[in-house]
Structure 1
Amino acid sequence: MDRQRISRLAHARRPIAAPLSDDSVARLLERAAAGAGGGRALDLGCGEGAWLVRLLAAQPNWRAVGVDLDAAGLTRARESATALGVERRLGLHHLDAREFRSREPFDLVLCVGATHAFGGLLPTLAAARELLAPGGRLLVGEGFWEREPSEAALTALAAAREDHAGLATTTDRVIAAGWTPVDGHVSSQPEWDAYEFSWTGALAEWALEHPEDPDAGAAREAADRHRAQWLHGYRGALGFVTYLLRRD
């Protein structure tokens, strides 16, 4: 089954593809846009455009651009923007985020849960620096080890220990790369659990409701496998931090 379709179905109830509650998302966006009467935002790996649509709905003087390789996700972004009446302020590009270029810099760059598109956190920071206006802000979300991962956790995530560090080391690396955290959020265990139950539940329920679809069996298998990997593998080991950063 196509991985992008799995992701779209799994995020049907929660289009923010990260373990963040609605309140956490709203607070981070409010802080990201604080002090600016208007501006331009860019989401690298925007998926269904949930971050940008919420930003535009809350900030009538902002405009935004989203970049993603998932054409169906971009279609949903347009639909969501149209439903909220913000479609004229949103531009969408079906493009690899690494290839995106702009003549004008952005006041806010977002990359939450999509740093893999650039090969990790530090390359994402370097890419964002080239697109950010002086005084602009970067909202970036990344995983970290809440505790030393077990072999079960590493197997479930198909990860190596060196793929992540603890929160302190991760933050030190961000600072060493020339960025200053001005706000942030560490996802709580209830946020993680709600996200994972929604992810696996939405996918499993779709399979139950569409037994005639050729992908129904694969969808149910993916949901069951993901649930087991989470509960028996990485739950409590993998954390998620969202930084609001400014350049030094």
Structure 2
Amino acid sequence: MTGTDTPPRLTQLTFCGPLSEARAEQIVGRLARASPARVLDIGCGWGELMLRVLDAVPGARGVGVDLNAEDLARGRANARARGLESRVEFIEKSATEAGYEPADVVLCLGASHVFSDASAPPHTAEALAALRRSVRPGGRVLLAEGFWQRTPTSAELAVMWPDARADEYHDLAGIADLAVSAGFRPAWTETAGDDEWEHFESGYLADVEEWLAAHPGHPLAQETRERADRHRESWLRGYRGVLGMAYLTLVPVD
């Protein structure tokens, strides 16, 4: 296959989420100050933040767990390019099957659903319980979790993803309460800003939009165009300014 057979996938995103370089640098600095020996990234994708923590903590070792082979391959290539391949392992398994050991730093970035078959939002509490078991005493968990910034209207829900519901997410205070109930103290609570969301959403579609502009008559163009248009509609008329992303740095209670 050539590069024109299908559009590239997410090549213009550094992180697969609304996370800026400035915020990532601050998070990595806070996590690195704990001098972790072992870093675990659950639902890692290509594990960019994990690799940055490993780069900041010489000698630390990391494990990334995900089911997407393409993303894992990207993570391995990035690790090789940075000379980290001997200190990180990317495992193609589900979070419940991987059999990983507890770690000093546990990352779960937009992936809390991997711990539970429960529908949203109950899976968040189950994920926090699993994360509490996954972190060593004195360690840190970084949880990135979606939340409603305000209650969505019926019109907004109608253009989001299929079967979107007003009770699908907690609010920010609700997530913090769940973290405390699971045995954590929230050492740091922050949320993605509008600029981070716009960078992420634009980058999410950029490869596809550029490919469509260059290949309007391609056999896959119509299907790809409809999918991109649905996503843009869902964002701009649905969850823009409504769905938030919280980044909680959690410390386990002894």
On whether the aligned pair clears a TM of 0.5, the verdict is: yes
- Equivalences for residues 100-179 of structure 1 within 5 A: 100-102=98-100, 104-119=101-116, 120-155=123-158, 156-158=160-162, 159-179=164-184
Task: Note the residue ranges of structure 1 that are not aligned, 5 or more in a row.
Answer: 1-5
SS in 2 for 1:41: strand
Alignment of 1:23-102 (within 5 A): 23-36=22-35, 38-102=36-100
Corresponding position of 1:218? 223
* Residue 153 of structure 1, CA deviation: 2.8
Query: Which structure 2 segments of 5+ residues have no match?
Result: 1-5, 117-122
Going from structure 1 to structure 2, the CA distance change for 1:132 and 1:208 (only over 3 Å counts) comes to same
1:114 is matched by which residue type in structure 2? A
Question: After the TM superposition, which of the residue ranges 67-76 and 169-178 deviates more from structure 2?
Answer: 169-178
Please tell me whether residue 240 in structure 1 is matched to residue 239 in structure 2: no
Partner residue, 2:206? 201
SS for the counterpart of 2:44 is coil
| One-letter amino acid of the structure 2 residue matched with residue 191 of structure 1 | E
Partner of 2:119: none
Checking the alignment, whether the CA contact within 8 Å between 1:157 and 1:234 is kept in structure 2 is no
Q: How many pairs are equivalent?
A: 240
Distance 1:35 1:21 in 2: 22
Q: 1 CA distance for matches of 2:83 and 2:221?
A: 34
Alpha-carbon offset, residue 185 of structure 1: 1.9
Output the amino acid matched with 2:32.
Answer: A
Of 214-223 and 50-59, deviating more is 214-223
Q: CA-to-partner distance for each residue in 1:94-150, whole Å, 9 max, x for gaps? A: 101121223x42101111111121243222111122221111110010011111111
Residue identity matched to 1:17: C
Aligned 8 A contact 2:66 2:91 in 1: yes
Percentage of identical aligned residues: 38
Residues 8 and 73 in structure 1, CA contact (< 8 A), matched pair in contact too: no
Cα distance in 1 for partners of 2:41, 2:218 equals: 33
Q: Cα distance 1:30–1:164, how it changes in 2: closer, same or farther (>3 A)?
A: same
Q: Give 1:206 shift.
A: 3.1
- Asked if structure 2 preserves the Cα contact closer than 8 Å seen for 1:15 and 1:48, the reply is no
**What is the SS of the residue equivalent to 1:18?**
coil
Matches of 1:7 and 1:243, distance apart in 2: 34
Tell me the secondary structure at the aligned position of residue 202 of structure 1.
helix
Q: Structure 1 residue 213: deviation in Å?
A: 6.3
> How far apart are the structure 2 equivalents of 1:153 and 1:100?
37
Q: What is residue 3 of structure 1 aligned with on the other side?
A: none
